[in-house]
Amino acid sequence: MALQNIFKSAHPIIGVVHLLPLPTSPRWGGSLKTVIDRAEQEAAALAAGGVDGLIIENFFDAPFAKDQVDPVVVSAMSLIVQRIMTLVPLPVGINVLRNDAKSAMAIATCVGAQFIRVNVLTGVMATDQGLIEGQAHQLLRYRRELGSDVKILADVLVKHARPLGSPNLTTAVQETIERGLADGIILSGWATGSPPSFEDLELAINAAKGVPVFIGSGASWENIPQLIQAANGVIVASSLKRGGAVENRVDPIRVSRFVEAMRRSVANRESSVTSSKSSVALGSESSL
């Protein structure tokens, strides 16, 4: 997955649009227009702040179905995603929670979105929805049947879950890529708003062998300078909300602050790498 084939940046920042409760969810408010208006406002705020892409998810539909969502959720998300794509000229991804990857793939293919997020692509995870089994074989065959080029970003040892058994992180990353055929890897902390450790990110990026690794939770303008040193990109949500609270609206000032911190960190890293290469080259020349 060449990131620059989808995003304009080699180190993309993907902002999350958390949809208000959709029809049939326990907290559905009865107005799809309200959901659409909020989603459009948040997408516009993220785009104005400088993110490189968006991912849209039915976050406030909790408690989630562990696999297939109601057809009305697919219909509503298709409509909302299409509206956002008309409004904001950014690459868009879809996550149908908790783990309805086939619906996400169907929506993305029909509306022309570029990628999906899959919480459990391979293995078995114990979650608050029960045991969720990865269905990579079904999803990859379905993508082929659709003739789709939608990319799959897959969580490894996803948040709000525990693996059955004790898999090694390196092995889990390798199997998600080599056996699950993920196009990119996502590494999160233990829950929403919790970041992965720098050490785990290093293990993941070494195991991925060039397949992109994304920070999937807990990134903020304070910790992104360190975390991005061991990742290719970031998916960010809570820290861009007013007061850093996930239930609040996106704060454009927080978005800009995060983007600035991320861009500066990447630029500094690339400058350091260039300087190191120049020093090595000069050293080689002086020894001739």
pLDDT score recorded for residue 147: 97
Q: What is the mean pLDDT of residues 207-224?
A: 96
Closest by CA to 128, choosing from 47, 192, 213, 218, is 192
pLDDT score recorded for residue 288: 58
pLDDT per residue as tens digits for the range 5-62: 899 899 999 999 999 999 999 999 999 999 999 999 999 999 999 999 999 999 999 9
Alpha carbon distance 11, 62 (integer Å): 31
DSSP string, 78-139: HHHHHHHHHH--S-EEEE-TTT-HHHHHHHHHHHT--EEEES-SSSEEEETTEEEE--HHHH
pLDDT per residue as tens digits for the range 102-155: 999 999 999 999 999 999 999 988 888 889 999 999 999 999 999 999 999 999
Q: Are 18 and 237 in contact (CB under 8 A)?
A: yes
DSSP state of 240: G
Strands 151-155 and 130-133: unpaired
Q: Are 180 and 209 in contact (CB under 8 A)?
A: no
Q: Are 97 and 66 in contact (CB under 8 A)?
A: no
Alpha carbon distance 131, 111 (integer Å): 31
User: One-letter amino acid identity for 87?
Assistant: L
3-state SS of the chain: helix, strand, coil percent to 5? 45, 15, 35
Q: What is the mean pLDDT of residues 266-274?
A: 76
For residue 56, the tally of other CB atoms under 10 A from its CB is 27
Q: Are 56 and 74 in contact (CB under 8 A)?
A: no
The pLDDT-based confidence of 268 (bands split at 50, 70, 90) is: confident
- What are the tokens at 151? 């990319």
Alpha carbon distance 151, 211 (integer Å): 12
The pLDDT-based confidence of 165 (bands split at 50, 70, 90) is: low
pLDDT score recorded for residue 269: 77
The pLDDT-based confidence of 162 (bands split at 50, 70, 90) is: confident
The pLDDT-based confidence of 161 (bands split at 50, 70, 90) is: confident
Residue 3 in this model has a pLDDT that exceeds 90? no
Alpha carbon distance 196, 190 (integer Å): 8
Residue 270 in this model has a pLDDT that exceeds 90? no
What stretch of H or E contains 185? Answer: strand 184-187
pTM check: above 0.75: yes
Alpha carbon distance 169, 176 (integer Å): 11
Q: Tokens 């908790």 identify what position?
A: 98
**Helices 32-49, 252-286: inter-axial angle, 10-degree rounding:** 30
- Kindly list the domain boundaries of the chain, sorted by start residue: 3-286
pLDDT score recorded for residue 23: 97
CATH class of the domain comprising 3-286:
alpha beta
Strands 124-127 and 161-163: antiparallel
Backbone angles phi, psi at 231, to 5 degrees: -150, 165
Q: What is the mean pLDDT of residues 205-212?
A: 96
